[in-house]
Copies of this chain bind each other. A is one copy, B any other.
Amino acid sequence: MNRFGEHFRIALWGESHGLQIGVTIDGLPAGIPLSEQDFAEDLARRRAGALGTTPRREPDRPRIVSGLYDGHTTGAPLTVVFDNEDTCSEHYTAIAGHDRPSHADRVAWERFDGFNDPRGGGHFSGRLTLALVAAGVVAKKILPATLRFSTAIVELGGCGDPARFEEILHAAASDGDSVGGIVECRVEGIPTGWGEPFFDPAESRIAHLLFAVPGVKGAEFGSGFAAARMRGSEHNDPIVDAAGRTATNHAGGIVGGLTNGNELIVRAAFKPTASIGREQNTYNRTTRSMEPLTIRGRHDVCIALRGAVVVEAAVAIALADMMRR
């Protein structure tokens, strides 16, 4: 399924080293002002270059090829495409048959009878999140202007103190290793009542998209796993006024699957980057034996770093789809 959404509907395509990454968005209202410049800020947040991110340099220039006329959405499907440019596919052909641990290489090969595009992970690549970020930008355009997103890495390599993140990244990099992290996205201003019982509660829609982001292995709302360690008297959020505000927000802004008007709080756990510089011993399908593997190519030390804006985009897309007009 390359599509998501019932009202704000997206379809996504592309491969890491293919010609193009793209997304088409259907269900947009007409008359929303939009330009290619509007994507710059969020794409910059996702772009490589900072400490701990891949040295692959892509201009990531969005081109809007349908659904826009005279600077406004037309109500027809809006399509945004990105050309892939800085691809070094030769790095990847060397390891054919010697599947990288904790990568999709082996399962994709088996699932697609060997016809999958192996270059840079093909359709499984984190590069696809480029299209997700683009869709997130459009989602934020149609969400009520009162919504305020704040997204941050709240834990990196097991450490919750941002002052130490740089040090942790340096240490992992110098070891040819990688680290995981946790991204938290908070959204203020969501009206009461978004989400659908029984099968489409707000948590389900958001988590569905979060787990589509490569590397995410956990998702929680409000107190999340910590809630399982609380008593009801501690976890319950008493309502304090006619607007439904609660004294505490252990629920993370969602009760009964519906937003309750309080701040939405969601966290996504990213595993450490699977591609590491250190040699790994793993099975080679060609030689039929365990063999040391050294992964070349260009990789992030911590995918959560660039994942923050992707998480925010996923939340925005899910909200735009749930929004009650």
Contacts and interface: CB of A to CB of B under 8 A. Distances in A.
A157 B233 CA distance: 13
**Tier of interface size on chain A:** 35 or more
A189 interface: no
Nearest to A222: B217
A180 B229 contact: yes
A186 to B, nearest CB: 16
A155 B229 contact: yes
B102 A236 contact: yes
Contacts of A297: none
Contacts of A288: 242
Interface string A63-82: 10111011011111111010
Interface in A171-185: 172, 175, 177-182
Contacts of A203: 211, 216-217
A20 to B, nearest CB: 4
By CB atoms of chain B within 10 A, which of A4, A102, A112 has the most? A102
A299 to B, nearest CB: 9
Interface stretch (A35-43, A50-58, A115-123, A144-152): A115-123
Contacts of A69: 15, 18, 115-117, 119, 122
17 contacts: A1-B198, A2-B197, A13-B77, A14-B65, A15-B67, A20-B65, A30-B116, A101-B239, A102-B250, A108-B258, A158-B228, A179-B231, A203-B211, A217-B224, A227-B269, A232-B273, A238-B290
Given A218-B221, A225-B269, A235-B271, 20 more contacts: A1-B196, A4-B199, A6-B6, A19-B63, A20-B66, A101-B236, A102-B235, A110-B192, A155-B228, A178-B232, A217-B221, A217-B224, A217-B252, A219-B219, A219-B220, A223-B271, A227-B270, A232-B273, A238-B282, A242-B288
